[in-house]
Every structure is written in C-alpha cells, then in structure tokens.
Amino acid sequence: MLRLHRIAVLIVSVLAALIVSGAAAPATVTTVMTGLDNPRGLAFGPEGALYVTETGRGGPGPPCRVNRGLLTCYGPTGAISRLWRGVQKKWVTGLPSMAAASGIEAEAGPEDISFQGRGGAYVTMGLPGTPAVRALLSPQLALSGRLLKVSASGKIKQIADPVSYEAANNPDGGLVDSNPYGVLALPGRQIVADAGGNTVLEVAANGAMSALAAFTSRPNPIPIGPPFVESVETAIAQGPDGALYVSELTGAPFPTGFARIHRIAPGGATSVYAIGLTAVVDLDFADDGSLYALQHSSCGPFFACPGSIVRVGAAPPHTVVYGGLSRPSGFTIGPDGAFYVSNNGASTGIGEVLRIQP
C-alpha cells in the first residue's frame, strides 16, 4: 500500500510540474463527420454550421481522360456536406467530379468554400487544364474551373472563370494551366488561389478578375524529379494586419522544407513570410493572431510522411501542434477555438472531419 501511495504521489507531482512548466497535454480528437468522398475545404457558415467540400469519386464517364499518368472519368458525385447541431447531411449534390476508377485522387470537383454573409457561400471548382480541355471533355463539366456562388437554398450561380483568365493572361509566364483551388470571400471581392496557374487572383463584385501575385518556379533542391519545382498556391487567409497570407504546396517532388507562406500587403507588395514548411494545403489565424498551417505531408519526397498542423514561427523549425494525419486536405479554426481538419482527403468513402482540441 505504501508503494502504491508513493507512485500516486509521484504521478501527481509530475502532472503538477507539467502544468507549471506549460507543457502541452495530449490533444483531444473527435471525429465529427464521416463517409466523405475526397473531402477538401472547410468553413463555418454564418449560422454556425460546418461545411466541407467533397471533390467526389468521379464515375464511369464519359468523358474520361489521362492526366499526369492517371485515368480519370466523370460522374456527378461532387458535393458539399454540412454539419449542423450534430447532424451531418448533404447540402449540395450532383456537382461534376473527375476521379480514378478507385475513386482516389479526384482531380476535378468542388475544392474550397468560404462565406461572406448569409447566402454568400463561394466555392472553387477545380479542373486542371485550359478552356479548350474543358470544352473538349464534356458540357457536363461546364461548371468546372470556375468560381461559384451558392445561395442558402443551394441555388448555384457562376461568378468567375479563372481557367479562361489564365488562358488569356498567363500571369506567371509559364505553361498555360489552371486549377482553381483555395478561395477567401471578403466584402465586395473574392480571392482565389490558382494552384495550376501559380497565381493569386482577385474577383471584383462585377466578376472582373485581376492577378494580385504570380509565383515562378524554383530550382529543385533534391536529385529526384524535374529540374524545377512549381510554386502551386493552395489557400488564402487574411491576417490581423489586413494582409493576405498564401500557402504553397509546391509541385512534385514536394521536397521537405521547400514550401513557403507568402504575404500580400494591403498595398499589393508581395514578400515571403515563412519558409521551411512542407506541402502546405491550408492555413488559418487564431484569435490571438497566431498563424497555423496544415501540411499535407510532413516530409518529402512525394508525401512520404503523415500530415500535421504546425504553428508558424518567425523561422523554422515550426512547432508541431498535431501530427499523424492521413493525407489531410483542409483546415479551419472554429468559433470554439478547436482545429477542424479534413482527413483522408485523397480517398473515397472514408474521408472524415476531425475536431482537434490542442
């Protein structure tokens, strides 16, 4: 009995020391949404519901195409799901999706969502390619490669066409290619991260588009893959200073520590805000002004490690807040201060949303 008492006293003493030293307790993780098909972007609506885009599982086609060595086929399986008062349900269905026969690695479908007031849901529809590719594939893909606005009742309106803007302007001067990915809805405008065009676009209230920034390729730092690595912008967040912060995935082979976060000042000046990150797919600011980033993989090449959430510091290494994620693809900080993550974001049927309370 005396030995057990001493052990109990030791445990209490250790816990007390951890509390005094400020050491973090293990995160509390809860699965709040399940059964999703390639879940991507996350956002809380003005009514407090949580929304997640599902790029879908494609279908049998036609059309089908081979893109980057992967055969993908069309199906109207893209969707947006909603979690409201603990109940998960489909909010929008029937959106165009292109995916492999296995349903993994969907290449076209709804990618991200952002709200500006009630009835103001803005959604990016991915489609790697050009307007000619979209037209050649099928009229069923007419919504692909565009920015949509979805009303509270689920009615869809086309707002802008980043794919056509890339074809006409090609701001980064490289290969003409577009894939609208991240979106941030602001009063009177929307900001779109074009992962294919390596650009950040502004969409005005009248639908007119302009390039806020364009990022060129850099020499590949490792002896695997092509000689140059593209930038590949994925998400945008507005900081407490009013500037826009843009996450970078980088192109293949996704070298460890090669991704950055860019800052676009209110006046338009662009700078590198953070380095030493890997495969960043999303980012968000906490109420205290701290910036957090979601790494699709914590090391390269080619997503060799599990994903993680990191607190972005002034210089690397950045603090890992939570690791061990499986191909995470979307991230937001909720009104409750918890982290919400789309997990298994490159899989069909097993996609989920995790609530992580650090």
> In this structure, what CATH number is given to the domain that contains residue 320?
2.120.10.30
pLDDT digits (tens, 9 = 90+) for 72-101: 999 999 999 999 999 999 999 999 999 998
Q: What is the pLDDT averaged over residues 7-15? A: 34
Ranking 18-32, 143-157, 220-234, 245-259 by mean pLDDT, the lowest is 18-32
Query: According to the model, what pLDDT value does residue 103 have?
Result: 72
End-to-end CA separation in angstroms for the chain = 36
Mean pLDDT, the chain, integer = 91
Q: Is residue 6 part of a domain?
A: no
Reply yes or no on whether the pLDDT at 220 is more than 50.
Answer: yes
The answer on 233 and 334 residing in a single domain is: yes
Query: According to the model, what pLDDT value does residue 101 have?
Result: 83
The answer on 147 and 44 residing in a single domain is: yes
Query: According to the model, what pLDDT value does residue 23 have?
Result: 35
Share of the chain above pLDDT 90, in %: 85
Query: According to the model, what pLDDT value does residue 302 have?
Result: 94
Q: Which residues have a Cβ under 8 Å from the Cβ of 159 and sit 6 or more positions away? A: 122, 146, 147, 148, 149, 190, 203, 207
The answer on 202 and 55 residing in a single domain is: yes
pLDDT digits (tens, 9 = 90+) for 148-174: 999 988 899 999 999 999 999 999 999
Q: Is residue 29 part of a domain?
A: no
Q: Is residue 343 part of a domain?
A: yes
Query: According to the model, what pLDDT value does residue 69 have?
Result: 83
Query: According to the model, what pLDDT value does residue 276 have?
Result: 98
Query: According to the model, what pLDDT value does residue 102 have?
Result: 76
Query: According to the model, what pLDDT value does residue 34 have?
Result: 98
Question: Contact 77/66 with Cβ under 8 angstroms?
Answer: no
d(CA 141, CA 212): 27
Q: Is residue 21 part of a domain?
A: no
State how many domains the chain has: 2
Q: For the residues of 256-319, what is the DSSP string, one character each?
A: TT-EEEEEE-TTS-EEEEEEEE-SEEEEEE-TTS-EEEEES-SSTTTT-S-EEEEE--SSSSPE
Q: What is the pLDDT averaged over residues 98-114? A: 89
Ranking 127-141, 171-185, 190-204 by mean pLDDT, the lowest is 127-141
The answer on 234 and 206 residing in a single domain is: no
Q: What is the pLDDT averaged over residues 122-133? A: 94
Question: Of 183, 214, 245, which residue constitutes the final position of a domain?
Answer: 214
pLDDT digits (tens, 9 = 90+) for 194-213: 999 999 999 999 999 999 99
Query: According to the model, what pLDDT value does residue 68 have?
Result: 79
The answer on 161 and 109 residing in a single domain is: yes
The answer on 160 and 42 residing in a single domain is: yes
- Residue range(s) defining the domain that contains residue 285: 228-358
Query: According to the model, what pLDDT value does residue 26 have?
Result: 80
Q: Is residue 240 part of a domain?
A: yes
Reply yes or no on whether the pLDDT at 17 is more than 50.
Answer: no
